[in-house]
Structure 1
Amino acid sequence: MRKLAALAVLVSSLSACGGAGENVTPPNPPTPGPAPQLSADLCYLMDTTMGEISLAVDNTHTPVTGNNFASYVDEQFYDQTLFHRVINNFMIQGGGFTTGMVNKPGRAPIVNEANVGFSNLRGTIAMARTNVPNSATSQFFINTLNNPQLDYSASSVGYAVFGQVIAGMEVVDQVSITPTAKQGVYSDVPVVDVVINSVTKISCPAG
């Protein structure tokens, strides 16, 4: 029972800090068959105050989510935002707040593409959202452990994985152990800001 309670707290931590009432209709069971492999259609260099993280985004299987992320990058939306929520042995979340935990509103929410079959494995990047399934905007998180409890299933709408870290996982791990504290109404906020200086498009590795 204690483990289940802890899990519920962690999953609720992926709210995109906007807050919305529970509005979840259980999805249809996943389509049987092998899960697709993440492709590297678009690649990005995320420069942070703790080092560089390279990401590959799958536009083939998650076109809505991939194009959404690409649009925010093209607008330089993520520049000077924070990794504002960090939970060791779970994930690091960013893309929606600037220094002082000032909310940076995103565009209209997108459809949740968690049902394509990707799992929230260590090193994957996925969309944060509120309790409303189709509520993700700009915020994302990087899994620091395998988190299958976040996947789409017959009883859960899941969190949409749309890419993975291809270099710099050691930076992600360092961010994940940075000291945190409560700041106002927000929990698990790094004591020292972890700033995303910029996100820029790069060439994807061959092969």
Structure 2
Amino acid sequence: MQKPLIWALAAMAMLMLAGCASAPPARSDDVARLATEIQSLGPEVDPEEAQRAARIAYSYTAQLAKEYQITDPPLIHNAKVNKGLRPRGLCWHWAQDMERRLKQEDFRTLSLHRAIANADNPFRIDHSTAIIGRRGDSMYEGVILDPWRYGGVLFWSPLTEDTRYEWVPREVVLEQRRREQVARAKPVPAN
């Protein structure tokens, strides 16, 4: 197959996939709803911390969307980042930056986690996210904070209710990749 045809087919596929990722309309009570969800993680969660985390999650998503120069759906933006036309904006950039920003708050009652989906699926690209939870809980009890999914509009949901992805702790995925890399690097014994 010729390269122009391959590029045209890839572009059409990306456009079709990107069309499926339209953002839900923003509502004026989004911060309050997220704060309530974070607060509902348990009675130990400080209401002020839940409110602050929700406010930061929304305001920082908007700030990053400007910094990343988001003008397209996620997969189109990914292609632009990979070609050097945009500075950042891959899902792991969003997750890394969101986690880094929220950790600056030094929450007493909340903790942050990272997760990756699709790492074991050769037909889908990996997807990374940040998760906020009650201190001491695993990521599975937390709330996903995913600004990539809708191209700079914050998606959030309790992890257990996110049916679109099967999330795995980031450290588990990275350890598995490290083991696979070591296994590939081992020399083949001579017969």
Higher relative contact order (CA 8 A, sep 6+): 1
Q: State TM-score, norm by structure 2.
A: 0.27
Report the TM-score, using the length of structure 1 for normalisation.
Answer: 0.26
Q: Which structure has the larger Rg?
A: 2
Q: Which structure has more strand as a fraction of its residues?
A: 1
